[in-house]
Structure 1
């Protein structure tokens, strides 16, 4: 995320004179009102966010109220919002003022300058409109049988009687799902190459991030491996794009890339190869690890709640998709995969009882809202039942973000989550455990189980006994 250059006349007090310079915004001196917040140095706040993110934010909520200011090294000035009414205001805000793409600008080095995640205003609206078709409900439903097949093939090789981390298996499944349903890759050699290179990009750490923020570093030896991985991914993705453009049966294909190649705006303009590459890279990186992590947390939670696990197994065999969806929703509530979503203000706004200056990032506090007893009674309890009888508000249930920036692939992720979880519960007998729950560990921008969601399989059910229609 971009750091805003903000100089405070006196750090700490809620009323101050603020001089703000962000990107190309004009420099101005205005009277502003920032919520209170910790007076710790920026580097210390950054370390606390990296090591104790949810607990640090929860402490700030208790200490400073529903809105508070953090000053975090490399991220700038963040105003956290935990009142659903304020969150609703942000999600409904004018896209010209609330810039989500700018808040994600640190991702440009990997996703590309035209990624739907890093652009704003009219360009974002038009790009998103072109990308809707592959993620419409009917289009996603056509992919359910392929998702089930991929999951079943992976599950067949799971070890029996030995504890193992589920997270790597979930990553294998979700990566294969994207390669075959989103990219539509079928060439064996190219598929193998994509399977090898994409995990390399997903393992980008703080050291590699320096080169993403400053692409000039890519020419230097320490970042050569990252540069080569991006170049290899580009080569493979451009080859897939060329194949799709040359396919005489393009209209009959169901993969997302085929639909994106065929998509055109009202003026008949289609996406260029570069734009297609950036969207594919976005879908690969944003849609792979997040869903895999959500599934890992689901298995971690289910194995620690035997009664819920038993009901989920019955639901998988009986075709009770409502209960499986409830398990998914509750998992993403109690173990949010993404820590937060941000918007950088392009001009001052009145919000949460304060006049916030341009250049600060407003952050709907997902982890705080999801763990609020006022919003979700007994919020620390894993209880899928709570999701059966209610439709959570878009300002209190935030795993896919909200507003005009709500995750484009939310429907796809929901179906994938349900289908993969159903195949697991139908094909293996999971052993419950009394072990303590796994801690949340921050990996890049997502929270993963610190031991990889270790599970133990008692037995694998024969495929014939597990036969169940996968179509939605």
Structure 2
């Protein structure tokens, strides 16, 4: 099926433009820069000026993006038929990296089929089976931390989540292969927006630095295809994600490769950043640190998970998620034409005092009270048919990382002030790396 044309400068007529939600009149390039570099402040200012629903225009093609900040409006989007609200079409820039079979790039029946094949590897029993492996890897990482000397937690978490992907998701156990893959995968997960432009302009892929990136990707693919071929003969009884996928579905090698790379890119920086923010907050707040340590000592998983959830609420790693309308539809009180990009502003919802009293405070107990956050107000993993399939894995991973770290160390923040966020591709990361100091308990 041909992709839905973007609603933008070439397809938006004046009459339709007058019916769109209000928004800034700044040039498209200026709006794009503000969105890319300052969305955590740009979106709140736009909401304050134009209301809960506003329109911005972004490159390419001065595309029309309608931003939603009310849970009931976002629920309309997440609850709409997936055939009307395409998510995969908005991710086509990722195809040269993730591959055409990536779950993030698929829509309609293809997405349903692929998601159904992936689900068994992320079920409750499967997650419980991974928890022990994640905990052991977390303990090994924690044992390397220097005591009494400040270090950047974000990089430590990036190292750990990469190791978890290698061993728990890919199931790689050979030491030589692990040593070969680590630096190669680090280059892939550190992909810059400049490299991603190759998805919009394919001729760039033939010259440096894009060709260098694709050469690295090809080396990784060779190893992954070799790993897949070997695993097809030996997956029985193994407990990693790749082995569970082989046991549960009928996959081609290309489909498996694309899902593994998708899990790598979608699950590495996001979880690493969420946990860096969690440790940043605990290091600044002795009472919350003590709360977490008691939970870790007692094996209180719900309380440890609440710390992860509150870090994701206060510091949403992904500030917004998008859909593309495949037909004209009524959304948030507006009649929006085909091709409109809809943005659900996760960051605006989760920082709204109407839904979260004292929204700037770090309070894990929000998720443990008799009056927890209302449905649709905590949405770091999106929602509906496109909710992140790795959400449960991410929360389990964060719980096990906290357990390993909090049973071993006390934490302090060299700088007690809140650390600002800065954009890194589609994520918002700690500007100074979430610096902490640890001492043995």
| TM-score bucket (shorter structure) | over 0.9
Partner of 2:403 in structure 1?
422
CA deviation after TM superposition for structure 1 residue 434, in Å: 5.2
CA deviation after TM superposition for structure 1 residue 394, in Å: 4.2
Match among 264, 288, 302 for residue 282 of structure 2: 302
Alpha carbons 2:355, 2:374 under 8 Å: kept:
no
3-state SS of paired residue (1:246): coil
Q: Superposed, which structure 2 residues align to 1:303-322 within 5 Å?
A: 303-322=283-302
Alpha carbons 1:114, 1:275 under 8 Å: kept:
yes
TM-score by length of structure 1 reads 0.89
Distance across 2 between alignment mates of 1:214 and 1:238 = 27
3-state SS of paired residue (2:21): coil
Alpha carbons 1:109, 1:213 under 8 Å: kept:
no
Alpha carbons 2:310, 2:363 under 8 Å: kept:
yes
3-state SS of paired residue (2:185): helix
Q: Which has the higher helix share?
A: 2
CA deviation after TM superposition for structure 1 residue 62, in Å: 0.8
Partner of 1:156 in structure 2?
143
RMSD after superposition: 1.7
Tell me the alpha carbon deviations over residues 353-409 of structure 1, each in whole angstroms, 9 at most, x when there is no partner.
110011111111111111100111111111111111144344211111100000101
> Which range moved further: 67-76 or 431-440?
431-440
Match among 243, 255, 272 for residue 240 of structure 2: 255
Partner of 1:38 in structure 2?
24
3-state SS of paired residue (1:338): coil
Q: Superposed, which structure 2 residues align to 1:266-305 within 5 Å?
A: 270-305=250-285
Distance across 2 between alignment mates of 1:85 and 1:364 = 11
Match among 309, 314, 328 for residue 348 of structure 1: 328
Give the ranges of 4+ consecutive aligned residues of structure 1 lying more than 3 Å apart after TM superposition.
Answer: 7-10, 390-394
Alpha carbons 1:3, 1:76 under 8 Å: kept:
no
3-state SS of paired residue (1:303): helix
Partner of 1:409 in structure 2?
390
Distance across 1 between alignment mates of 2:286 and 2:212 = 44
Alpha carbons 2:171, 2:241 under 8 Å: kept:
yes
Distance across 1 between alignment mates of 2:437 and 2:44 = 33
Alpha carbons 1:339, 1:447 under 8 Å: kept:
yes
3-state SS of paired residue (2:236): helix
Match among 84, 87, 93 for residue 97 of structure 1: 84
Q: Superposed, which structure 2 residues align to 1:204-215 within 5 Å?
A: 204-215=191-202
Alpha carbons 1:400, 1:410 under 8 Å: kept:
yes
Alpha carbons 2:189, 2:268 under 8 Å: kept:
no
Tell me the alpha carbon deviations over residues 217-276 of structure 1, each in whole angstroms, 9 at most, x when there is no partner.
2221332320111111111111111111122xx231111111222333xxxxx2111111
Alpha carbons 2:32, 2:58 under 8 Å: kept:
yes
Partner of 2:306 in structure 1?
326
CA deviation after TM superposition for structure 1 residue 72, in Å: 1.2
CA deviation after TM superposition for structure 1 residue 414, in Å: 0.6
Partner of 2:36 in structure 1?
50
3-state SS of paired residue (1:441): strand
Partner of 1:17 in structure 2?
16
Seen in structure 2, the aligned counterparts of structure 1 residues 427 and 219 have a Cα distance that, compared at 3 Å, is: same
Distance across 1 between alignment mates of 2:309 and 2:4 = 31
Partner of 2:412 in structure 1?
431
Structure 1 unaligned blocks of 5 or more:
11-15, 19-31, 265-269, 462-472
Alpha carbons 2:47, 2:53 under 8 Å: kept:
yes
Asked whether 1:447 is paired with 2:428, we answer yes
Distance across 2 between alignment mates of 1:188 and 1:2 = 46
Tell me the alpha carbon deviations over residues 322-348 of structure 1, each in whole angstroms, 9 at most, x when there is no partner.
211111111100000112111000001
Partner of 1:221 in structure 2?
208
Partner of 2:358 in structure 1?
378
Seen in structure 2, the aligned counterparts of structure 1 residues 2 and 214 have a Cα distance that, compared at 3 Å, is: farther
3-state SS of paired residue (1:442): strand
Equivalent pairs counted in the alignment come to: 435
Alpha carbons 1:87, 1:364 under 8 Å: kept:
yes
Distance across 2 between alignment mates of 1:382 and 1:155 = 24
Structure 2 unaligned blocks of 5 or more:
none
Distance across 1 between alignment mates of 2:382 and 2:438 = 34
Alpha carbons 1:297, 1:449 under 8 Å: kept:
yes
Q: Superposed, which structure 2 residues align to 1:350-369 within 5 Å?
A: 350-369=330-349
Partner of 2:50 in structure 1?
64
Distance across 2 between alignment mates of 1:64 and 1:436 = 31
